[in-house]
């Protein structure tokens, strides 16, 4: 069953508000994927050149995972490669990155 969404905005139209919300959610997913939900960048405690090198490596790995996840979703085989549903959650919540990493 679909759930209702309530989006409060000062944008001029509903399509513009939905588009802005989609972009924001994509950015939020990316931050989660790079932090504790994925690569755990903040847990590395790196600084300076090592941090820059780690970010470069993460960018390459993240891009590869996104491409893999997109391909898996387009082939509609996500349910065969994604992790099992956690007992406390009603629905699987996997970003394209998460699907790519699982794949």
Compute the residue count for the chain: 103
| Joined tokens for residue 45 | 């405690």
Q: What's the confidence (pLDDT) of residue 17?
A: 87
Q: What's the confidence (pLDDT) of residue 5?
A: 73
Is residue 50 over pLDDT 90? yes
Domain ranges of the chain: 14-102
Distance of CA 53 to the CA centre of its chain: 22
pLDDT in tens, 81-97: 665 555 665 555 677 77
Q: What's the confidence (pLDDT) of residue 53?
A: 93
Using the Cα atoms of residue 22, residue 51, residue 71 and residue 2 in order, give the sign of their dihedral: negative
Angle subtended by helix axes 48-74 and 14-34, to nearest 10: 120
């Amino acid at each position: 069953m679909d759930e209702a969404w309530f989006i409060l905005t000062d944008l001029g139209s509903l399509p513009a508000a939905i588009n802005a919300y989609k972009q924001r959610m994509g950015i939020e997913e990316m931050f989660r994927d790079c932090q504790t939900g994925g690569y755990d960048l903040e847990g590395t405690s790196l600084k300076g050149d090592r941090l820059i090198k780690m970010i470069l490596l993460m960018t390459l790995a993240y891009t590869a995972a996104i491409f893999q996840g997109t391909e898996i979703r387009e082939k509609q085989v996500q349910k065969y490669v994604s992790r099992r549903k956690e007992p406390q959650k009603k629905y699987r919540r996997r970003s394209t990155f998460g699907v790519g990493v699982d794949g």
